[in-house]
Structure 1
Amino acid sequence: MGLGGRDPVYVHVGGCHMAGKRSRGVERDQALQAVTEGVDACPHCRPDTELGILE
């Protein structure tokens, strides 16, 4: 989540070392929806690849 705790900044794969204290787990379909609606995929763990989304 962003600094205000409202809008997501990145989507991470579970266990990503870059996910901070404000992160929380979501279901696969929620992560897929977030990435397709413009939330950036973490460049370290590449959840877009894990979800099968090709850039």
Structure 2
Amino acid sequence: MAGADAHSRYYSEDVQAMAPGSVELVIVPDADHVDLYDRKELTPFDKLDEFFAKNLAA
């Protein structure tokens, strides 16, 4: 997950490029890196729920 306006977004894009098909990159519109900590309304909790349900299921 990366903010569309984050200076560090390219790190996430690099990881996705190294692991195509196994990494889903979620770009959050109108957000920078800090917004994803401070502005909870921007966080795509549905994507997080989906990820954890899929990968942490017993």
Name the one with the larger helix percent.
Answer: 2
Answer whether TM exceeds 0.5 for this pair.
no
Higher relative contact order (CA 8 A, sep 6+): 1
TM-score norm. by structure 2 comes to 0.27
TM-score norm. by structure 1 comes to 0.28
